[in-house]
Amino acid sequence: MKKFFAKAYIWVLLIVMYAPLVFIAIFSFTQSRVLGNWDGFSTKLYENLLTGQMQGNASLIAAVENTLIIALVAAFVSMMLGTVAAIGIHNLKGRKKKAITFLNNVPMINPDIITGVSLFLLFVFLGFAQGYVSVILAHITFCTPYVVLSVMPKLQRMNPNIYEAALDLGATPSQAFWKVLVPELKSGMVSGFILAFTMSLDDFAVTFFTRGTIGLDTLSTYIYTDARKGGLTPELRPLMTLIFLVVLILLIVINLRQARQSKLNVKKY
Amino acid sequence: MRKRSNWSIPYLIFLIIFVVLPLILILVYALQDSQGGFTLANITKFFTDKDALSTFAVSIEVALENTILCILIGYPAAWILSRKDYNKSAVTIVLFIMPMWINALMRTLATAQLFTILGMNLGKGTLLFGMVYDYLPFMIYPIYNVLSKMDKSYAEAAVDLGATPWRAFWKVTVPLSMPGVWSGVLMVFMPTVSTFAISEFLTNNKIKLFGTIIQENINSSMWNYGAALSLIMLIIIGISSLMSKDKEQAEGGLI
């Protein structure tokens, strides 16, 4: 009986949580411009989205491209910067380690709007033209801490001597880095990359403040402007549905990977 | 001696330019007038600006209500999810945390659309519902994390020693799970105060939160006042994270 109530509670919560998403997904399969009107089944919106043929809304495609490019570049740079930083921090001691770990936490504690406003002021102060580059720099700022946090546990588990051994055996530091460190840290780096990528895709506030006035739109700023104008672009419905699916699949893959790794780790020891 | 600690130097420089300097700039701009002279006028303006003050009060109120609702709804969910006998599937947990990875704006818009089509009046009620909807995963996840790592034998020992299961839950499980609750509070309270866009969509522009007035000032080029408002928010964040610092243990990773 208790079990029944517990299960029912979880399912009711899930149904309520997913109702809006399911609602969007259902109405992505009808052609009606107004959400909530059912004009019969149609995959027209998907076709429009995938072929980029939308009535006067080509900027949605541009926004999706911008979002993906920014997320890929920011996640890649964050992964490299964060991995090197994590190795450095791991080898620091005492007060220095505490200080840099604290600084690394600041972007994660700060609400997006503070990160956005403060970086906006930075670019104004430096006279740095705001656009693609400023948005990417801003995204690297809030993504890198997550990479550092994903790589750190791998470093703690790694045998500290193997890198030294590679150097002693005649590897150059860059060979030792690519052939010894990177393979050991790879899984943490990949998790960090995926985290950074989704954080970047997810962002609205920071992009909003650092994109300047050149008309650069990512998906979230596009949605914001679109919703303010009233009436969403109907092609957003299939787009959102696809994004939900991709995120769900990514998360399941990450979780299965982690489950497999923890099993492997158990076997190792 | 090869010093690999030096590898942290590029990131340290990066952090100083993109984290420390921007925060200092908030302070500098907050204490400047539009000509660049020193002034406290931006700070005093907030305390005499009825609009800003009432927005601030409303934001704190909404954030408190949202946080409490998230705990009340999220704690039981986290507890059930952490029990192996009630929930065996890892996919259920993924389903609960998945919304954290979807653009909040998108999810909010979907909720607002659903409200409109159901014929609900957009206002305080829908704002709270939408906020709980947006932030619930951020409460459930840290609590779930702590509960599932917790040593179950403590609660069992309490029951063996004669406590009722109910009493064991309140006296053992709940106190031990407080670090998770505190992380959840941190992840729900401040972000609620600082959201912009979300509250407008959920209330049809009827209710503004603190984040919105920061955004409005920055966008209408009132940088100094916008910076002063951000500074006030930063001070609150500082206080609230100090308050929860010893209560919250580092709960590594979000996934």
CA distances from A143 to A140, A221, A269, B22, B96 (A): 5, 19, 33, 16, 23
Question: From the CA of A92, how many Å to the nearest CA of chain B?
Answer: 5
Q: Which residue has the tokens 């656009």?
A: A131
Helices A2-26, A236-268: axis angle to 10 degrees equals 140
Output b/e per residue, B185-213; b: 16+ Cβ within 10 A: bbbbbbbbbbbbbbbbbbbeeebbbbbbb
Residues ≥6 apart with Cβ < 8 Å to B249: B179
Question: From the CA of A158, how many Å to the nearest CA of chain B?
Answer: 15
| Rounded-to-integer distance, Cα A207 and Cα A97, Å | 30
In the A/B pair of chains, how many CB contacts fall below 8 A? 225
The two three-digit tokens of residue A15, written as one number: 């149904």
Query: Between these two residues, A118 and B221, which has the higher pLDDT value?
Result: A118
| Rounded-to-integer distance, Cα B94 and Cα B79, Å | 15
Question: From the CA of A143, how many Å to the nearest CA of chain B?
Answer: 12
Share the mean pLDDT of chain A.
86
The pLDDT of residue A180 is above 80: yes
Per-residue pLDDT of A87-135, as tens digits, reads 999 988 888 899 999 999 889 888 889 999 999 999 999 998 888 999 9
| B-chain residues near A7 (CB < 8 A) | 80, 86
Closest CB from B14, B103, B194 relative to A81 = B14
pLDDT interval class at B227 (50, 70, 90):
very high
Question: From the CA of B229, how many Å to the nearest CA of chain A?
Answer: 10
| Rounded-to-integer distance, Cα B18 and Cα A115, Å | 9
Contact B113 A23 (CB under 8 A): yes
The mean pLDDT value for A132-156 works out to 93
Closest CB from A6, A14, A20 relative to B110 = A20
The mean pLDDT value for B196-217 works out to 86
Determine the pLDDT at residue B251. 44
The pLDDT of residue A1 is above 90: no
| B-chain residues near A114 (CB < 8 A) | 26, 194, 230, 233-234, 237
Strand-pair partners of A30 = A41
pLDDT interval class at B252 (50, 70, 90):
very low
> Nearest CA to B152 among B82, B92, B89, B78?
B82
Contact B96 A247 (CB under 8 A): no
| B-chain residues near A21 (CB < 8 A) | 102, 107, 110
* CA nearest to A123 within chain B: B22
Contact B3 A14 (CB under 8 A): no
8 A C-beta contact, residue A25 and residue B92: no
DSSP secondary structure string for all residues of B63-103: HHHHHHHHHHHHHHHHHHHH-TTT---HHHHHHHHGGGGS-
The two three-digit tokens of residue A30, written as one number: 């009808």
pLDDT interval class at A269 (50, 70, 90):
very low
